[in-house]
Structure 1
Amino acid sequence: MVESWVIDDGGSVPVSSGTVREILRTRIAGGRFESWLTGSSGRSLAFVTNGDRALVMLLRDADDPGEHAVDPDAEGSSDGFVLSNGQRDAYGDKDTVPLGEAFRIVEHVLGTGSWPADVRREVDR
């Protein structure tokens, strides 16, 4: 069975790999830079952006530190990652990916249940 996903904001409408990019873009345009998607298997997918780069994390369950996509050749850091509680974070660019790549990763995870084969990631477990 393919895992189904919903935006974890009280909604119950499934989000597909074909619609998630536009949904995330709409949320960003509305000032919501942090999005959590919950899978029917109990996994969570976090997406936090500053509009240029995004942190993408996949967690097995609520207690899992997870794993996140990395850009190992990136240098420096970026700020402006606004969390839903209003906190503004900065992350090393190595721990984030360009926004277009983040959308591709999220689409792939929702469509297949796994990371794209070519995406580098760091396991935080």
Structure 2
Amino acid sequence: MSEQDAERWEFTDRPAGSGVPAGPDGDAVAELRRRIAGGRGETWLRSSRGRELAVVSNGERAMVMLLDGPGDPGGHAVDPGEDGWSEGFLLAGGQEDAYPDADTVPLGRALELVRCLLETGAPPPDAPWSVDR
């Protein structure tokens, strides 16, 4: 695939071409880490192909969702076998959610998944993933 055909990602809350680029070079992951450490729980990225990647974190765990576009239920990373719920997932509008731990992954793993999604366009083959369609 040529560089021209490569899927490009950008943060949806920044004008195109400004700020930290969202790409496989690690800048997007570093930016996500800064946002989460700063208390920002929800971040969305959009690709040049119209796909969307969402990361919602409480600082310890994160929900990582990949959608084919607006309105698509997409899929999300899962942590099979985990019990319980985690709270404190702060959404952009101020709502605070709780999610089953089985539907979220530890933050470090979430950032690894994001890096792979930006590099390859898909989760790693060994990553448990729920298709929500």
**Identity among equivalent pairs (%):** 52
Gap regions ≥5 residues in structure 2: none
Gap regions ≥5 residues in structure 1: none
- Residues 8-56 of structure 1 show CA distances to partners (whole Å, capped at 9, x for unaligned) of 1033233112212210011113321100000000000000000000000
Aligned with residue 45 of structure 2, among 33, 37, 40: 37
Indicate the structure (1 or 2) with the bigger Cα radius of gyration: 2
Q: Which runs of 4+ in 1 moved over 2 A?
A: none
Aligned with residue 64 of structure 1, among 52, 65, 72: 72
- In the alignment, the residues of structure 2 paired with residue 19 and residue 73 of structure 1 have an alpha-carbon distance, to the nearest angstrom, of 32
**How do 1:1-125 and structure 2 match up within 5 A?**
1-13=5-17, 14-17=21-24, 18-125=26-133
TM-score (norm 2): 0.90
Q: Which has the higher contact order (CA 8 A, sep 6+)?
A: 1
Mapped contact 2:37–2:59 kept (Cα < 8 A):
no
RMSD over aligned CA atoms reads 0.9
- Residues 50-95 of structure 1 show CA distances to partners (whole Å, capped at 9, x for unaligned) of 0000000000010201100000011101000000000000000000
TM-score (norm 1): 0.96
- In the alignment, the residues of structure 1 paired with residue 36 and residue 109 of structure 2 have an alpha-carbon distance, to the nearest angstrom, of 16
